[in-house]
Amino acid sequence: MNSTTSDAGVVDVIGVGAGFTGLYLSYRLASAGWTFAGFEAGPSVGGTWFWNTYPGARCDVESIYYSYSFDEALQQEWTWSQRFAPQAEILGYLEHVADRFDLRKHFTFNTRVLGATWNEGDRLWEVRLDNGETRRCRYLISGAGGLSTPKEFDVPGLENFTGLRVSTSRWNISLDDLAGKRVAVIGTGSSGVQAIPLIAEVAEHLTVFQRTPNYVMPARNAELTPEQVAAVKQDYAAIREECRHSPGGIPDRPVTDRAFDVSDEERRRRYEQAYERSGFLGVGAEFVDLLTDAEANRTASEFIHDKIREIVKDPATAELLVPKYHPLGAKRSVFGTDYYETYNRPNVSLVSLRDEPIETMTENAIVTSAGSYDVDAIVLAIGFDAFTGPLYGLNLTGASGRKLQEVWRDGIRSYLGIMAADFPNFFMVAGPLSPALASNVVVSIEQAVDWIADLLEHARDTKATTIEATVEAEREWVEITEWTVAQTLYATTDSWYRGSNIEGKPNTFMGYVGGVGKYRRMCTEIAKRGYPGVEIDGETPSRTIGPIHQKIA
Ligand code: NA7
């Protein structure tokens, strides 16, 4: 096909979302000469960082890595203020990127994609928008994000509550609105853990309703010094390259010894050091077998248990906070500031929903099986319908006339987390079964966008009109992702990684955990071999990716 298509009104590419993905997608594809129309439900750019404005919101990946690498001048001129920049600064960064590269012109804001149907006759997507329009495009690319569809509160009675009610993922009040109030926070994942200490400072009383205790390690956030910033900027190209070829999208700290290779004293000393370092390369990454061997993991988990018991003064509260239900790192680790210390405040109390589940709510109270808690405000920090929530929200109807949610009813299937059989010319950036879930997602986003852009270029060169994953390649990729995760403790633990936080969602681990470096090398090899596993106008070098995964180190 020609990028200046002759079909009147048909745009080459429609992109969904104007977050980290949508912005880079628009830049990359417009630069390559494609016509691009982006639609964003929110009023401006930012995606996750536009919506999640709750107190304490910040990324759990260090900002010097959690940022774009595609433009040297951009990374030289932008200066992060802190190790983990707060939400407002990350949003400011994305606004800067949008303005600097003049990207807003590619987007229509306040416009949600309601549905999209593949038109086999014309070989294009018909995309329905909530402004009543239908737009047509050759390629449809989702940058709708993995954590953008808030989970519905699945406990009856919330509708009875007449006090102030707010969700961390759609925060629309100020912290002052909670001042002097009796506040309940429900949920203790990253969002709850970040918000709780700040809410505790203003509330008359804060009651935290915890279902599953998490391992919360100190974030050790700090201002970045001018010397640190200068050192990073001087070395940025090499740092980015290291991130791209690392396991998790951040510079690696390779370890080769196992937890029981060292004495108990030496192990403890190493954990203490790692605890000071914190971050994803902290305690959970101190020995090579912590995510693969349950006994090895127990040593690290118990180290954190002891830390909690040291910090929290009331022994009964400490015991409730000790995470006993899963190994450290098997669901996403949480990094906080003064989280456990907050439970030493006289105005904070903890309710364990494992011991006393919520039964209902009244107009001014949360009622559990053991009692009633009067509150003026409820903060829901209950997470997201990850990955499939945003995708199913696009209501895609594929070549066979079935919706994606029907095709994936018994479990997610994708090729590389990028394509889905029966959905020609549709691509997902940081989609299910990609490495995005367990990585610095910005690294995964840039890699996927570049790979998709190269594939579109390849199709343009051959004047092809349809690109589709084969069923065989998709099946193989599912097997590879399942085999890879089965080697780890991720396989043993319920979490949003597996969809188990949503009632009725098939329990499938939604990511590839073989490492972003290995994944990148595999994708590069697939491109080099002419895209096995991808049918381009019905032709493919091979319907499967064969032994490429085993061969790539
Ligand atoms: P998470 O990590 O999914 O955490 C949600 C929390 O809410 C978690 O503690 C849940 O307990 C709890 N939850 C969910 N539903 C309920 C109900 N019905 N009752 C009580 N408690 C409930 O979401 P976050 O927003 O904190 O973080 C998501 C990601 O964003 C994070 O991993 C980072 O990558 C950034 P559960 O554990 O399910 O028992």
pLDDT of residue 127: 98
> Environment class of residue 80 by beta-carbon count within 10 Å: exposed (0-12), middle (13-18) or buried (19+)?
buried
Q: Verify that 301 and 316 share a domain, yes or no.
A: yes
- What region does 46 belong to: left with phi over 0, alpha with psi -120 to 50, or beta? left
Structure-token pair, residue 337: 């500031």
Alpha helices in 361-496 (DSSP H): 388-392, 404-407, 441-461, 471-486
- The predicted model scores a pTM of 0.96
CB 217 within 8 A of CB 335: yes
Number of domains making up the chain: 2
Structure-token pair, residue 375: 């509150």
Q: Verify that 374 and 437 share a domain, yes or no.
A: no
> Which of 87, 185, 194, 211 to probe ligand 1 with, by most ligand atoms within 8 A of CB?
211
Q: Verify that 350 and 412 share a domain, yes or no.
A: no
Q: What percentage of residues in the chain have a pLDDT greater than 70?
A: 98
Among residues 365, 380, 395, the one where a domain terminates is: 380
- Is the model's pLDDT at 45 over the cut of 60? yes
pLDDT of residue 7: 62
Instruction: Ligand 1, residue 168: give the atom nearest the CA.
Output: 25
- SS3 helix, strand, coil % of the chain, rounded to 5? 35, 20, 45
Among residues 380, 405, 420, the one where a domain terminates is: 380
Q: Does a structural domain hold residue 167?
A: no
Q: Whose CA is nearest to atom 35 of ligand 1?
A: 190
Q: Does a structural domain hold residue 468?
A: yes
pLDDT of residue 192: 98
For residue 534, report the distance from its CA to the centre of ligand 1, in Å. 36
**Residue 26, helix vs strand vs coil:** helix
Q: Which residues line ligand 1 (CB under 6 A)?
A: 60, 147, 154-155, 186-192, 211-212, 332, 353, 381-384, 496, 501
Contacts of residue 447, Cβ cutoff 8 Å, sequence gap at least 6: 244, 516, 519, 520, 523
Among residues 334, 365, 380, the one where a domain terminates is: 380
Higher pLDDT: 6 or 407? It is: 407
- Is the model's pLDDT at 113 over the cut of 50? yes
Can you say whether the dihedral through the CA atoms of 310, 315, 320, 324 is positive or negative?
positive
Q: Verify that 236 and 142 share a domain, yes or no.
A: no
Q: Verify that 376 and 400 share a domain, yes or no.
A: no
Of 334, 90, 8, which Cα lies nearest the Cα of 192? 334
pLDDT of residue 307: 98
CB 127 within 8 A of CB 137: yes
Q: Verify that 221 and 331 share a domain, yes or no.
A: yes
Relative to beta strand 134-142, strand 124-129 is antiparallel
Q: Verify that 47 and 136 share a domain, yes or no.
A: yes
- The pLDDT-based confidence of 407 (bands split at 50, 70, 90) is very high
- Is the model's pLDDT at 387 over the cut of 70? yes
Mean pLDDT of the chain: 95
Q: Verify that 340 and 427 share a domain, yes or no.
A: no
pLDDT of residue 154: 82
pLDDT digit string, tens, across residues 482-499: 999 999 999 888 899 999
- The pLDDT-based confidence of 8 (bands split at 50, 70, 90) is low
Domain that holds residue 372: 216-380
Q: Does a structural domain hold residue 231?
A: yes
Q: Does a structural domain hold residue 193?
A: no
